[in-house]
Amino acid sequence: MNNNAVGIIALVAAIVAFLLVPVSFLLWIAAALTYGGESTASVFMAVLIGAVVLALAAIIVAVVRLLAKAQPGLSIATIVVGILPFVGGVALFGFGFLS
């Protein structure tokens, strides 16, 4: 696989995770409050966990590419986009919205 394609795939994975994490989290909470412990909430929880794993994988690939000095700008952009879902979660907990 082309070295440029790996960086672009990691960036796309980070963007997908950035979009999926807040949506799946909000839908998970809404489904849990609406349906209780039924399997509907479990689906959104699985999507949330998958999105977090996708973000972590994109960050790891970007860090490896940054250490290898392969397109550092793309690697830094991928790291920033990959970290944003985690920053949002910490901010929500820090401001007391989820406590």
Residues 93-99: what's their mean pLDDT? 62
User: Could you report the per-residue pLDDT of 47-60, keeping only the tens digit for each?
Assistant: 889 999 999 999 99
**Alpha helices by DSSP H, 1-99:** 3-35, 39-67, 72-94
State how far the Cα of 1 lies from the Cα of 53, in Å rounded to an integer: 22
Q: Which residues contact 25 (CB under 8 A, 6 or more apart)?
A: 44, 48, 89
pLDDT of residue 72: 86
pTM of the model: 0.82
Distance CA 62, CA 41 (A): 32
**In the chain, domain spans:** 3-94
Q: What is the mean pLDDT of the chain?
A: 85
